[in-house]
Structure 1
């Protein structure tokens, strides 16, 4: 059953697979450019985990902005080299190039993903430059388990690759997470 909250959360422009692939390529180019501009820095890339053809809506934009504000508050005392916010129909993106060790930054972002009410809806990726290419710091490198699926709590990557859950089911769960926080 499609809920009223789902309609609000996913009321936005639909994007095609081609647009998503182009956005992913653009994101990779931005990541590389930013890291090459300061090879000693760590790059935080913030995106949302939103399945389906709608990646942007006013509700999602509001939640994204709240997360960006939370991140900015956490990193308030750090030396920010570049801050870049992109509001796109393919999903919002936030880039923060900071002068702190990548593992320290990743620790802070794992804590935020784990404890923030909307943390599960976000990817807070930390990247460094290795052999002139952006390289992510994984949760497992720091001794954390992989992310869990929103629906069944199995490994999220396994569920995603196998398409174990349909888009409507996942969107319903995302809407529940958002609704619970708003109540």
Structure 2
């Protein structure tokens, strides 16, 4: 797939996910969790992505009492939405603990939304930004500075997934 086609399919998948998410709100549940993957490079689907998602979903289900709302897969890989009776800020803290408990957690993306669909972010909880997969600097700083090659990031992600 060409880089333009890949970019277009990823953008279309993001738009479609946002439309699905928008359709879930408002909800009587205090929080909604979106579980997806945070994989570097163009390979967002396949056996590794499925294995990582299954691992992440199992960890999420052990950590939180959630009700499945919607599940799918697209150019960005597998994803699922869950509702919970816990408060959104509490769920965000539990989700971040899950993301930091194991190296593979760094490749998960747990987005938390309140009953109205407002996303709960790290900044509002006064929690440091997500760290880089390779070094301990903030991930966005590494992305903007291009400190690590895509190949280096992809190899690291593969090694982490292969270890679960």
- Whether TM exceeds 0.5 here: the answer is yes
Q: Is the 8 A contact 2:48 2:158 kept in 1?
A: no
1:95 is aligned, of 81, 96, 104, to 81
Secondary structure of the equivalent of 2:11? helix
Residues 41 and 30 from structure 1, CA distance in 2 versus in 1: closer, same or farther, beyond 3 angstroms? farther
Secondary structure of the equivalent of 1:151? coil
State how far apart, in whole Å, the 1-side matches of 2:20 and 2:141 are: 28
Q: Is the 8 A contact 2:35 2:109 kept in 1?
A: yes
Q: Is the 8 A contact 2:111 2:120 kept in 1?
A: yes
Secondary structure of the equivalent of 1:92? strand
TM-score normalised by structure 2 residue count? 0.87
Aligned to 1:63: 52
Q: Is the 8 A contact 1:31 1:43 kept in 2?
A: no
State how far apart, in whole Å, the 2-side matches of 1:145 and 1:175 are: 25
Aligned to 1:176: 159
- 1:4-43 maps to which residues of 2 (within 5 A)? 16-36=6-26, 38=27, 40-43=29-32
- How many residues align? The count is 161
State how far apart, in whole Å, the 2-side matches of 1:40 and 1:73 are: 19
Task: Let me know the Cα RMSD of the aligned residues.
Answer: 2.0
TM-score normalised by structure 1 residue count? 0.79
Q: Which ranges in structure 2 are unaligned for 5 or more consecutive residues?
A: none
Aligned to 1:115: 101
Computing the radius of gyration over CA atoms, which structure comes out larger, 1 or 2? 1
State how far apart, in whole Å, the 2-side matches of 1:177 and 1:148 are: 15
State how far apart, in whole Å, the 1-side matches of 2:98 and 2:133 are: 17
Deviations 1:30-77 (A, max 9, x none): 1111122x155311111111122210011220121121122112223x
Residues 50 and 115 from structure 1, CA distance in 2 versus in 1: closer, same or farther, beyond 3 angstroms? same
Deviations 1:133-158 (A, max 9, x none): x3221123223211111122211112
